[in-house]
Amino acid sequence: MENQIDQAGTGIDAPETPAKSSSVRWIGKGVAGLVIAAAAAAAFHLHGSDAAPIAVPPPSVTTSAPLQRDIEDRLGSLGQFSAVNRVELRAQVGGTLTQIHFRDGDIVHQGDLLFEIDPEPYQIKLSEATAELGAANARLTLATRELARAQELQRAEAGTAQNVDQRVAEQRAAQAAVDRANALVRDARFDLDRCKIAAPFTGRIGTHLVSVGNLVSGSRAGSAPTTLLATIVSLDPIYLDFDISENDYAAFQRSRASLQGPLADAVSISPTGDSGFTRTGKFDFIDNALDRSSGTIHARATIPNRDLSLTPGGFARVRLATTAPQPALLVPDAAVLDDQTDHMVYVVGADDVATPRKVQIGDLRGGLRVIRSGLSPNDRVVIDGIPSVRPGSKIAPRAGSIQFSTEQVAEGARS
């Protein structure tokens, strides 16, 4: 008790307990942290607020003036090839088929022998007709001599006029018999010649439909049932049939009068499998009435096919010019952006600021998009780096160029 009083009176602190010492140390660390944070805030207030922000350079893009080129308006459609000539090979005489002189699917030429029918019955018929002709000629010779003798007797007043008239009639009958015999010979030779069936034109022949040894029936006029032996189609040239809608046909009629020279009849085609419109042909037929069920009119072009690569039944895209070439502006298709129902391109002004501009577009030509309105030849259009451009933003333009390349099959107007 006395010790406690003495300690209080002298002001000497008693030793701290362990728990109290730990609390003091944690409080000291917290105060130090607050001091450091306050110092950092003061430093930021004094120095950080005065620092300049980091400048972002404008995006680099490629620009070019639109390409100027003379372009004609045209119609596009899908067509199907058909043969100019297609023939069903049928026999004109009946008999046994003895030989086939081609392989299925061959290219055969005009006059090539294709089928042979047993000729023996027709050789017999020709021999009979020839023999009858000989007999008729003999009778004619006799009648002619008898007429001459009768005329001589009449001049010597030893014969009558009636006798002469009779000999004249006999001579004329003999001449008619000779004419008939000649016709029978030609008829028999005609049948004999038709025992050999040749190609009527150059083309591709299909499969043979009758084998050797079969009995085939024939008819000259085709009125009686005949046996179909094979079919043959011509390949060079070849037709391309296509349809034109009523609206396109009306526009075609209005503008076609302005076309002159080869352009008036020229078409370009892209067969299935080709990489572009590499072939040309001649537009040579349009039907005389619209199809009421489809609202289209049938048209046709003739296409050269010297390499025989085009086949009847195949498909091809066809283009038909409707106007003479006129000046037009073209830009890369990637430079044209869709804006709901409109289309736009970015145009760079003198201050290097990109501004969107609404344009009217046409179809693709040479891999480029035709611009019908909205641009002038002196405009600078952004053709590369478009994703980094923002409307009204400043850009860093670099000069580029637009190239007219080979036209592609997929070229066409945007919907």
**Which residues have a Cβ under 8 Å from the Cβ of 370 and sit 6 or more positions away?**
71, 328, 329, 330, 361, 362, 363, 364
The whole-number pLDDT of residue 7 equals 41
* 398, pLDDT greater than 80: yes
Say whether pLDDT at 183 is over 90: yes
Dihedral (CA of 33, 38, 43, 45) sign: positive
Confidence band (pLDDT; 50, 70, 90) for 4? Answer: very low
Give the dihedral of Cα atoms 213, 215, 216, 217; nearest 10 deg: 170
**pLDDT at 12 exceeding the cut of 70:** no
pLDDT tens per residue across span 249-299: 888 887 776 665 555 678 889 998 887 788 999 988 999 999 989 999 999
- Please enumerate in sequence order all residues whose Cβ is within 8 A of that of 180, keeping only pairs 6 or more positions apart, or say none: 136
In this prediction, residue 264 carries a pLDDT of 64
Predicted local distance difference test score (pLDDT) of residue 275: 77
H or E stretch covering 309: none
Per-residue confidence (pLDDT) for residue 406, from 0 to 100: 57
pLDDT of residue 21: 43
Q: Quote the pLDDT of residue 326.
A: 81
401, 367 in Cβ contact below 8 A? Answer: no
Question: Average of pLDDT values for 199-228?
Answer: 90
Q: What is the pLDDT of residues 240-253, one digit of tens each?
A: 999 999 988 888 88
Average pLDDT score, the chain: 82
- Which pLDDT value is given to residue 261? 56
Helix (H) or strand (E) holding 154: helix 120-155
